[in-house]
Amino acid sequence: MKAFSITDIGKKRQLNQDHIYSSLEPVGNLPNIFLVADGMGGHKAGGYASSCAVETILEGVRESEGVRPEEILTEAIQRANEVIEKRAGEDERFSCMGTTVVAACWDGKELIAANVGDSRLYVVNGGIEQVTEDHSLVQEMVRIGGINKEEARSHPNKNIITRAVGLEQDLSVDCFRRPLKPGNIVLLCSDGLTDMLEDEEIYRILTGEGTIQQRAQALVQAANDNGGRDNIAVIVIDPFS
């Protein structure tokens, strides 16, 4: 198993509010763990929210006595939600801060993922599949048939999040399982990548030549070449290498 993670400030932002974590070794009762968090809020609040989420999730995973990865990840993300919400209530500088989270682990047979917000997890499996579902206003509009996927990409409200870590008392976390086979590639990323690149371009780069490090770096470069309007976070995983 190999993985490579990278964040980039992009071309328009003054701060990088994306945080990532990648471990091929066991963390608590998980065999490995991969995290992407994309913060939102004031000047420094978004960066604080995303870094706090990553740190608190890892702490929760290490301390968990759970066995099922879905249970471990869900409880750890909900713990981060409580910590961030409490901090926001104590200091007005952090008022209304929050963060997306997408988390995953690989047990040797299945990929287990959890998400809140619009950071995504994809699996390349002969095509490219978005495994997670965005918690966003435009995705809800797509779901009910108000707009199609192409219209969603350019919708003026596409960055309005309907669910985020730190903004809700009773946070719901979505979980997914996908069996993997040799040749599959896994991608976790923030919307700084997916707002800049179509899924087909992401697929082309992920299935192109080069190491996973080179492919991850190529994704970031392509997002910047297309405008780099936001911070970019990428984790590329080859489970069978």
Question: Could you read off the pLDDT of 215-240 as tens digits, one per residue?
Answer: 999 999 999 999 999 999 999 999 99
**Domain membership of residue 99 as a residue range:** 2-238
What is the pLDDT averaged over residues 24-37? Answer: 98
- What pLDDT score was predicted for residue 90? 92
Dihedral, 219, 7, 228, 221 alpha carbons, nearest 10:
-30
Residue 69 DSSP label: H
Total count of domains within the chain: 1
Q: What angle do CA 39, 200, 112 make, to 5 degrees?
A: 55
Extract the tokens encoding 220: 């970031």
Extract the tokens encoding 23: 């471990």
Which element (helix H / strand E) includes 91? none
What is the pLDDT averaged over residues 51-74? Answer: 98
Q: Look up tokens 């697929």; give the residue.
A: 203
What is the pLDDT averaged over residues 6-14? Answer: 96
CA distance 236 to 223: 15
> Which CATH number characterizes residue 225's domain?
3.60.40.10
pLDDT of 106 higher than 80: yes
pLDDT band at 157, cuts 50/70/90? low
SS3 174: strand
Q: How far is CA 195 from CA 103, 104, 121, 187, 238, in A?
A: 20, 21, 14, 15, 24
pLDDT of 138 higher than 80: no
CA distance 206 to 208: 6
What is the pLDDT averaged over residues 47-60? Answer: 97
- What pLDDT score was predicted for residue 161? 86
Distance of CA 83 to the CA centre of its chain: 19
- What pLDDT score was predicted for residue 164? 95
